[in-house]
A and B are shown apart, each in its own frame.
Chain A
Amino acid sequence: MQQTETVIDLQQLRFRWCDNQPWTIDIDSLQIKQGERVFIKGPSGSGKTTLLNLLAGVLTPRQGHCRILGQQLAQMKASQRDAFRADHIGFVFQQFNLLPYLSVIDNVTLALQFSSRRRDRVTHPEQEAVRLLDQLDMAEPQLLAQPVAELSVGQQQRVAVARALIGNPEILIADEPTSSLDADRREAFISLLRQECEQCHSTLIFVSHDQSLQQYFDRSIDLREINGAALSQSFSEAAQ
């Protein structure tokens, strides 16, 4: 892949949850290049999670194009989109990222279960999981043996990062992964995330309503500026 290749390309993208409602997402154009570390900010309810769902192919746009890694998601069948997500995208949620009934290692290798492509890239899933966890400072034997529900929130988030990275997906999407961490840990977590993405040459899309985090990223996008829907909404709110 060339350094300049466009990984995400949105054109006239429009989405709403229900008919007869204003658009939740209305983006004229947005491109993200391979290897970029992008920060997307926006207040609560501005459609950040909705946008990520569109990027990950869980939702399909009502109008416009959503091209990921050169593929038109809208033209795929639902099952193909699910497979595409499994193959190419790692996901980190705000919190509660782990399945309580799986061990730390199994939570990491879970990402391989639904993707033969990522499975094929990893010869020894458990070793690879431990290697990633080790980079994230999470490979202590007693930590690995602990039930995931007993890990601290920060530790759980690091396990989630390991899961998102295993098998080298091209894109890593994080939806407010630091909102339940305190300021010090937040900084450490983000630099860890950056570092890992750099090593794997993954594109990082990091979403948060916390403006102060944008300093850690190459590029910062304000959803309110690119999302026409939010604009018209805030206008109408202001008018009232």
Chain B
Amino acid sequence: MAIVNLALKSLWNRRLTASLTLVAISLSVVLLLGVEKLRNESRQSFANTISGTDLIVGARSGSTQLLLYSVFRIGNATNNISWKSYQELSSHSRVKWSIPISLGDSHRGFRVMGTTAGYFKYFRYQQKRLLSFAEGQPFNTLYEAVLGADVAKELGYTLAQNIVIGHGAGAISLVRHDDKPFSVVGILNKTGTPVDRTIHVSLQAIEAIHIDWRGGTKLPGFSISAERAAAMQLQPKSITAFMLGLNSRLSTFQVLRQINQYKQEPLLAIIPGVALQELWDMIGFAEKALLAISVFVVLVGLTGMVTVILTSLNERRREMAILRSVGARPVHIFGLILGEAVTLTLIGSGLGLLLLYGLMFFAQPLIETQFGLFINIGWPSAHEFQLLAAVIISGVLVSIVPAYRAYRYSLADGMSIRI
């Protein structure tokens, strides 16, 4: 139609201001959709960290703290659980399987976790997926280690590599268990969970490297060689936490209550799904704030557009009088201004979408290595299209302001040219 053609030509004539408006709109769209994408992916990957485990048990502390150190390897346990309690509880009639874990050591910034072979059999993530090996197999003898995918990739380790475990959780360990080196026997496939950044060894190995240690320091003048320690048939005295799978999910609350009321030792059992949700609600606040901010940025972008159009109206009253003189109706003038704003919003949103995908394409590997968050670059989801539609509809709605103003001008001015 003639008026659309005119709108486009008029817009092209003011392409500098128009392109600045486009930049503002598209960047705000990038921010909005990017934040939304990040929110979804992080929520998704967060919920995917553990699956199929009915209860996590640790020494009594906060449920968030227990979740953080047992699942996310963040922070430390304040207390350990005795081996005896673990054995008693894991042989409970309703328990199907159990995975003990023992934390506290690290290797070049990656946490070392002592566990049993059952870990590779029962631990599940992301809708009940089991861990799988990229190379090698589970640990079998004492000084063997299985690496998470990121550990192997970042440190460039391959099978049969010898590694020395440092004492404590810091990135640089001042004291190291260098008398008892480990050999890499397995490397896990990538999971997108903290498992990727964990080094797995047996519980006995954790016991062995600490055999000549007391209270966090090496006993002076006392040392037991790796071979002797291996021959000692070590049994752990304590562990950090354990995971339970039950025969029936229906008994979850019953077992939970029994553990929380366990007489011998103050214990805390948590349901991972519930604790994850609590934790997410806590940190999700920031994420909601971020979304709110990006919504405001979009509004600022659209307001900028309306401002630009409104300020241009005064200069364009002449244009409108000319159009009126050749027979354009006031609704044509309305459509001209509205069409311009809608065009800007549409192109801006489209550019924003393109820019976002371009950015994601480049940033994806970076985000994955830096934050362990895998961004899935698929087609925009229905929700993203909804957001985009909301942006466009808001753009149209705010454009009614200058369009209506132009309409009033053209009615009031008629064909008198005002400058």
Interface residues of A (CB under 8 A from B): 49, 52-53, 56, 58-59, 78-79, 82-83, 85-87, 91, 93-102, 106, 110-111, 113-115, 163, 175
Q: Which of B9, B13, B318, B329 contacts A82 (CB 8 A)?
A: B329
Chain B nearest CB, measured from A164 CB (Å): 9
CA distance in complex: A94, B419 (Å): 12
CA distance in complex: A3, B318 (Å): 36
Stretch at the interface among B62-70, B393-401, B410-418: B410-418
A53/B327 contact (C-beta < 8 A), A93-B322, A101-B12 known: no
B327–A93 touching, CB < 8 Å: no
| B326 touches A (CB below 8 Å) | yes
Interface residues of B (CB under 8 A from A): 2, 6, 9-10, 12-13, 318-319, 321-332, 414-417, 419
Q: Which of A93, A100, A101 contacts B325 (CB 8 A)?
A: A93
Chain B nearest CB, measured from A25 CB (Å): 13
A79–B326 touching, CB < 8 Å: no
A96/B415 contact (C-beta < 8 A), A87-B327, A101-B13, A114-B326 known: no
Contacts of B327 in A (CB 8 A): 82-83, 85-87, 111, 114-115
A56/B325 contact (C-beta < 8 A), A101-B9, A113-B2 known: yes
CA distance in complex: A86, B9 (Å): 21
Contacts of A111 in B (CB 8 A): 326-327
B319–A99 touching, CB < 8 Å: yes
Total A-B contacts with CB atoms under 8 angstroms apart: 72
Q: Which of B6, B13, B416 contacts A100 (CB 8 A)?
A: B13
CA distance in complex: A91, B414 (Å): 13
B9–A91 touching, CB < 8 Å: no
Residue of B nearest to A95 (CB): B417
27 A-B pairs in the complex with CB atoms less than 8 angstroms apart = A49-B415, A49-B416, A52-B415, A56-B325, A58-B324, A58-B414, A78-B330, A82-B328, A85-B325, A85-B327, A91-B325, A93-B322, A96-B318, A96-B322, A96-B417, A96-B419, A97-B322, A99-B6, A99-B323, A101-B12, A101-B13, A102-B6, A110-B322, A110-B326, A114-B328, A114-B332, A115-B327
CA distance in complex: A101, B9 (Å): 6
Most buried by B among A52, A93, A98, A111: A93
CA distance in complex: A49, B318 (Å): 15
Contacts of B416 in A (CB 8 A): 49, 53
B414–A53 touching, CB < 8 Å: yes
Contacts of A99 in B (CB 8 A): 6, 10, 319, 322-323
A93–B417 touching, CB < 8 Å: yes
B2–A102 touching, CB < 8 Å: no
CA distance in complex: A93, B325 (Å): 9
B322–A94 touching, CB < 8 Å: no
Contacts of B330 in A (CB 8 A): 78
B2–A114 touching, CB < 8 Å: yes
Chain A nearest CB, measured from B202 CB (Å): 77
A86–B13 touching, CB < 8 Å: no
Contacts of B328 in A (CB 8 A): 82, 86, 114
A113/B326 contact (C-beta < 8 A), A96-B318, A100-B13 known: yes
Contacts of A56 in B (CB 8 A): 325, 415
CA distance in complex: A71, B326 (Å): 19
CA distance in complex: A218, B319 (Å): 32
Chain B nearest CB, measured from A88 CB (Å): 9
Chain A nearest CB, measured from B96 CB (Å): 75
Q: Please list the 8 inter-chain residue pairs (A to B) with the smallest Cβ-Cβ separation, ordered nearest first.
A: A86-B327, A101-B13, A114-B327, A58-B414, A91-B325, A113-B2, A82-B329, A53-B414
CA distance in complex: A95, B417 (Å): 9
B13–A94 touching, CB < 8 Å: no
A94–B417 touching, CB < 8 Å: yes
Given A78-B329, A110-B326, 15 additional A-B pairs, CB 8 A: A49-B415, A78-B330, A79-B331, A85-B327, A86-B326, A86-B328, A91-B326, A98-B322, A99-B6, A99-B10, A99-B323, A102-B9, A114-B327, A114-B328, A163-B326
